[in-house]
Chain A
Amino acid sequence: MPIRDRSHWRHAFWQIPAIILLAGLVGICVNYLRPDSIPIVGDWSAKTSMAAATQDKLSIPLAGAANLFSEQLAVFIDARDEQEYADGHIRGALSLAWDDASERFPEIAGDIPSGTMIITYCDGEGCHMSYDLAVFLRDKGFENVWELANGWTVWQDANLPVEEGNAVSPRG
């Protein structure tokens, strides 16, 4: 006669904490041993994040980017894909989609005088293409490269100048 086996629930009752405990112990031990360990309790306060962003992420605040824009002291580079660039971008920005950065870099390199400040941007708080592009450009020898985090959104929210256009040529 088939009967329902209720012992599974009894097993689940101790297995759930056991699996979580096992994962916790291994995770913390491995973290302790590895060279690139992170603190178990990190400091994610807004102040720390901002400081870290400025030092490690090459991030420039919107006010600074807007000043450099109005003084025409910086070249803006859009790291999104060409279609998104064509739909709208910071006025005068060059297009260098991160996905094609290696191939298309020579096209725009000649348009940027050495020593010029460069500000990269993409869109969304989770978008890191602008950061990657900034690092890429630094690797290519441009020393003065910064990232405007979540750039397209914050630029529009601040009603700063934008334009539309195709990304056929580097200058759009």
Chain B
Amino acid sequence: MEEKSCSYSQDAKQHPQIMYAGILYHAARWILGIVFIYASLHKILYPAAFAEAVYRYQILPDWLVNLTALVLPWLELFLGVFLIIGLWMPGAVVISNLLFIIFMSALSYNMARGLDISCGCFSTSPTAGAADIWTVLRDGMLLIVSLYLLFATFARTVRVRD
């Protein structure tokens, strides 16, 4: 007879490191989930302002600016909710990593070419400060959390008993 079960819950009592890994895994899920949901709200409320923020990045072709401004906030919202409730984790975690890599690349690219624009990361407010090295570092730290979650999600093992 074959029985499959998640090793986290089964072995946590016997191996404290597995329990800590479980806590870290859930903490990472919640941190990223809350960040994504928080980041999405202002953009969903003010699509025109966010479209302008996307346009100011001067990276996407014009025809993609509004479409990105309409879809990206909802993608962030769904990602945040899925990460928190643990739904479709493999897909959500991969997209999360891709998004942070894209955000960091876009910010770095515009900093390198001296474009003085606001981040548009958490707020579309015109008074938000210009993106700087700290903005990139913040994204970098979130990418590290996201990479950990990717590792934790895909490296999870299952116990098989004969």
A-side residues, CB < 8 A to B, are 1-5, 8-9, 11-12, 14-16, 18-20, 22-24, 26-28, 30-31, 34, 36-45, 98-99, 123-129, 131-132, 150, 153
Contact = CB atoms under 8 A, between A and B. Distances in A.
A19 B51 contact: no
A5 B65 contact: no
A28 B70 CA distance: 6
Contacts of A23: 71-72, 74-75, 77-78
A15 B92 contact: yes
B62 A43 contact: yes
Interface stretch (B20-28, B141-149, B152-160): B152-160
A40 B95 contact: no
A9 B153 CA distance: 10
A30 B91 contact: no
Given A41-B67, A125-B117, A18 B88 contact: yes
Contacts of A45: 62
B62 A129 contact: no
Contacts of B127: 98-99, 128-129, 132
Given A38-B51, A131-B126, A16 B94 contact: yes
B93 to A, nearest CB: 8
B52 to A, nearest CB: 9
B42 interface: no
A38 B69 contact: yes
B82 A19 contact: yes
B157 A26 contact: no
15 contacts: A2-B160, A4-B157, A8-B156, A11-B91, A12-B93, A18-B91, A19-B95, A20-B71, A26-B78, A27-B73, A36-B47, A38-B51, A40-B67, A44-B65, A127-B126
Interface of B: 7, 44, 47-48, 51, 53, 55-56, 62-63, 65-67, 69-75, 77-79, 82, 88-95, 115-118, 126-127, 130-131, 153-161
A66 B143 CA distance: 46
Contacts of B95: 16, 19-20
A124 B117 CA distance: 7
Contact of B66 (A16, A24, A42): A42
A124 B128 CA distance: 12
B71 A28 contact: yes
B47 A24 contact: no
Contacts of B94: 12, 16
Contact of A126 (B118, B154, B158): B118
Which of A12, A26, A128 has its CB near the most chain B CB atoms (within 10 A)? A12
